[in-house]
Amino acid sequence: MTTPLRIADLRRVFADTPLQAARLAPVALPDSPEAVFAYDIAGQDPFAAWTCARERCDVTGLWPVLAISSGAGRSWVDALRSEDFFSRFHHAEEFGGGLSGNSPGEIIAAAQRLDVVEMLSRVPYDDSIGLDEALEIGLAGTQSLFGKAPAIDDPRAFLQRESITDTYALERWLFDWEIRNGDDPLRLPEYGLSHISWFPAASENPALLLFPSLRGWEIPAYISWFGATRCNSQLIVALLRHWHAHYGAELVAHYGTMLQFVVSRRPATPQEALELAWQQYLIAPCTTLLPGVSVRDHARALLHTDRWFLHERP
Give how many domains the chain has, as a whole number. Answer: 1
Looking at the domain assignment, is residue 285 inside a domain? no
Looking at the domain assignment, is residue 162 inside a domain? no
Q: What is the mean pLDDT of the chain?
A: 91
- Output the pLDDT for position 74: 67
Looking at per-residue confidence, does 73 or 178 come out higher?
178
Looking at the domain assignment, is residue 12 inside a domain? yes
pLDDT digits (tens, 9 = 90+) for 14-52: 999 999 999 999 988 887 778 899 999 999 999 999 999
Looking at the domain assignment, is residue 290 inside a domain? no
Looking at the domain assignment, is residue 135 inside a domain? no
- Percent of the chain predicted with pLDDT > 90: 77
**Predicted confidence band of residue 163 (pLDDT cuts 50, 70, 90):** very high
Q: What is the extent of the structural domain holding 102?
A: 3-118+207-262
Looking at the domain assignment, is residue 143 inside a domain? no
Looking at the domain assignment, is residue 104 inside a domain? yes
Looking at the domain assignment, is residue 50 inside a domain? yes
- Output the pLDDT for position 164: 97
For the chain, the C-alpha Rg in angstroms (whole number) is: 21
